[in-house]
Structure 1
Amino acid sequence: MADQRIKVLHIITRLVRGGAQRIVLDLLKRLPRDEFDVVLAAGEQTGDEGSLWPEAEQLGVTLVRIPSLVREISPFKDIRAYGELRRAVRTHHPVIVHAHTSKAGLLGCMAAKKEGVPSVILAPHGHILAEGAQIPGVPVRGWKRTLLAMAAKHNARYADVIVAPNQAELDDGIAHDLWTSDHCFVVPNGVDTTRFRPGDSTKARTRMGLNAASPIIGVIARLTREKGVDIAIEALAKLEGVQGVVIGDGPERKALEALVSAYNMATRVRFLGARDDVHELLPAFDAVLVPSRTEAHGLVAAEALACEIPVVAVAIGGLKSLIIHEQTGLAVSPGPNAAAELATALRRLIADKTLARSLALTGRQHIFENFSLDVMAEKTVDLYRRLASSSSVGKSHSMGKPMMLE
């Protein structure tokens, strides 16, 4: 008997430790296997952040390695990657292609359209024109950035549906003329609230070998410029008697360690590198600091809130949907005064335990109701079913009123 399941091909540029990659793997875990036959295609490139390929291999889905798919602009490799993606589509015959991030989004959607895939979804996970956006190796001005901006503006023409994790990213893309509202949908990125939940702070601090006598602030991020860890270090330098813990790795690590030394904070700011046990470490913190220069969603902030840890963040991009000032956290304005404002907000949280507890409780409820894995999976499955049903009767997805994912 023929397999009646809906075949979905997910495409992402890299499987490094990052928010977009984490979201994709968590989503694939939640797709019901009796209804969906899932294929995941990704480039083999890894980095200082660490690799998620070992975890992907445990998912029980078909994996396809795309050797030429890399993050950097490389015309020769990009042309080869396009061909490799077309072969993957021809081999697996998906009904739906769901392409993630900019490079895989463009090449994956183009390949899917060329091969006649009935339904193509683009999930940008941020874009080059977003406020504060910067891609390693791409100058703020120059031909590479111009080329990426042009590609971003043409990306949506190859997709039937654009999926954004929050209203802020959807509206930002419309404002930059990247896509139109008639085929855009908000499907929130989800947190595994069974994994990220309140825990024993003493046990978590012992796990890291930390002194429980002073407040501990956590910074969890890929160590790249756009994550603003240098801003966090500057903020911590303005606070006395506070310890800082940086979890994550990346190309900026040496520069950030040098910055800590320049502020004479080597004894109170520790770098732990990339960790698999972040959910067990989060309860150690009195607050989590999210100083990003650009952020499509802000998965770390959501994970901290799920653990009932108060969050102080820069109000930018998707963080504005997560950190509602004075309700689910404390938010400060982006810009040159961000470090000083973050320090002031942290000082306030440390001094006012009642406020910190109130924000933490409200924050966890906010995640449960709006940003859980269950919510993300439910809305994604609903979208897939509608697209598959529409494809079966030959309807176009880019015409008419948008499907509302309530």
Structure 2
Amino acid sequence: MTRVLHVITGLEHGGAEHQLALLLRHLPMECEVATLTHAGVLGERIRSGGVRVHELGMRGNRDLGALPRLVRLIRGGRYDVVHTHLYRACVYGRVAARLSGTPRVIATEHSLGDGHIEGRRTTRAVRALYRATERLGSMTVAVSPTVAARLRAWGVRPDRITVVPNGIDADAFAYDPGHRAVTRRRLGVPMDAHVAGCIGRLVPTKRFDLLIEAVARTPAAWLLLAGDGPERARLERLAASLGVSGRVVFTGGTDEVAPLLAAMDVYAAPSAQETFGLGVLEALAAGLPVVRTACPALDDLPPGEAPHAARLPAAAGPDAWSAAIGRRAGRVPVPPAVRRYAIEEQAAKLARLYGGHGGGEPSAARTRPVPESIPT
């Protein structure tokens, strides 16, 4: 049986991390996981499912001691495929896999935005290092055609890019009125309140400040923001300054997404750019009407695949968001778009990529030097 090692930067709450945990339950081969930093709660959940998780204890981007540890792990495991996820893991993982002689090296690009990657600016040094190490791999997987276009703009050859979208287990998000009641009581949200919400890291590119301003213009509306990140303190101050602290609930990072979606009446996603938009799909799977800006998962589909997902332009301000949030509520049918991204189908696509192991090493891997450091 094909043996696969997934290398990821960390296993805290995040879209790429949760996507990996979901894939591991559906990939039809023997998988292990190596996290450069620490396993965290999600790592323990993966272990409880019977998947071995290795922790490399990396202390920072320039902790080059992690590289020989990863090389030893890959050589000792005799893996057929190394599959990397997230920027730091892609850089270190590709180098270690080639030094180890792994026949097939796949990387998934989850978080390449327009001018940023994983919330950080894409400087010239970041792009150069990415391109240099990309050539050490066999194939780069983009989670959407939008990300594939960004990779090509970075100089990655088109024949080295393939699109495998993120997957979703739609049944896991099916609306449960019991979850709705329990979650609202736990969060202190009135049962009859009109609740907008969004799930994601609290970073500037998500534009959650726009939602807080919109709720301040929407009498009696509440807002659930599920996630954590560097913007939390600023967003809390903004809610206080607008007098809506009592109606804006910060839940922090959580694995319990379905109950939070059940507690909402409308899902609002104002991010001006995304790599995929998994949160929007999860909301649609929960039967929520959606108001959103960027969502490649829907933008790349034919019209009519998600009729209850209204799109606002990036220039729309708080008044437009207030109006859109205020006039949408109640459960709607799960649209065809959700079924297009069934996790079983996406896992099968990756399994076919893994099945190509055994090919020769790319000539670029023999001629290009190994990078000496990772930009901070």
TM-score by length of 2: 0.87
Give me the CA root mean square deviation: 2.7
Give the 3 Å change call, closer, same or farther, for CA 308–397 of structure 1 in structure 2. farther
Give the 3 Å change call, closer, same or farther, for CA 175–27 of structure 1 in structure 2. same
Shift of residue 228, structure 1, vs aligned partner: 2.3
Alignment correspondent of 1:169:
147
Aligned with 1:194: secondary structure? helix
Correspondence for 1:158 among 136, 142, 150:
136
Aligned with 1:8: secondary structure? strand
Q: In structure 1, how many angstroms separate the alpha carbons of the residues matched to 2:301 and 2:18?
A: 18
Alignment correspondent of 1:403:
none
Shift of residue 56, structure 1, vs aligned partner: 2.1
What is the letter of the counterpart of residue 152 of structure 1?
Y
Aligned 1:335-350 pairs, distance under 5 A: 335=315, 337-350=316-329
Q: Does residue 327 of structure 1 match 2:298?
A: no
Alpha carbons 1:119, 1:160 under 8 Å: kept? yes
Q: In structure 1, how many angstroms separate the alpha carbons of the residues matched to 2:270 and 2:49?
A: 32
Aligned 1:34-73 pairs, distance under 5 A: 36-45=29-38, 51-68=41-58, 70=60
Correspondence for 2:347 among 353, 377, 380:
377
Aligned 1:3-402 pairs, distance under 5 A: 5-32=1-28, 36-45=29-38, 51-68=41-58, 70=60, 74-75=61-62, 77=63, 79-127=64-112, 130-131=113-114, 133=116, 140=121, 145-177=123-155, 179-200=156-177, 201-202=180-181, 204-315=183-294, 317-318=296-297, 320-321=299-300, 327-335=307-315, 337-350=316-329, 360-361=332-333, 363=335, 365-368=336-339, 370-385=340-355, 387-388=356-357, 391=358, 394=359
Aligned with 1:330: secondary structure? strand
Q: In structure 2, how many angstroms separate the alpha carbons of the residues matched to 1:57 and 1:120?
A: 23
Greater RCO (Cα-Cα under 8 Å, separation 6 or more): 2
Q: In structure 2, how many angstroms separate the alpha carbons of the residues matched to 1:6 and 1:92?
A: 12
Alpha carbons 1:161, 1:397 under 8 Å: kept? no
Shift of residue 328, structure 1, vs aligned partner: 4.6
Shift of residue 39, structure 1, vs aligned partner: 1.4
Aligned with 2:135: secondary structure? helix
Shift of residue 278, structure 1, vs aligned partner: 1.8
What is the letter of the counterpart of residue 148 of structure 2?
L
Q: Deviations over 1:268-290 (max 9, x none)?
A: 11122223322122122111111
Aligned with 1:302: secondary structure? helix
Give the 3 Å change call, closer, same or farther, for CA 164–13 of structure 1 in structure 2. same
Structure 1 alignment gaps of length 5 or more: 400-406
Alpha carbons 1:219, 1:232 under 8 Å: kept? no
Give the 3 Å change call, closer, same or farther, for CA 43–395 of structure 1 in structure 2. closer
Shift of residue 81, structure 1, vs aligned partner: 2.1
What is the letter of the counterpart of residue 285 of structure 1?
M
Give the 3 Å change call, closer, same or farther, for CA 283–323 of structure 1 in structure 2. farther
Structure 2 alignment gaps of length 5 or more: 365-376
Shift of residue 318, structure 1, vs aligned partner: 4.9
Alpha carbons 1:314, 1:338 under 8 Å: kept? no
Q: Deviations over 1:83-129 (max 9, x none)?
A: 222121111111111001111011101111122111110112122xx
Alpha carbons 2:212, 2:239 under 8 Å: kept? yes
Aligned with 1:218: secondary structure? strand
Q: In structure 2, how many angstroms separate the alpha carbons of the residues matched to 1:319 and 1:376?
A: 16
Shift of residue 62, structure 1, vs aligned partner: 2.1
Give the 3 Å change call, closer, same or farther, for CA 228–188 of structure 1 in structure 2. same
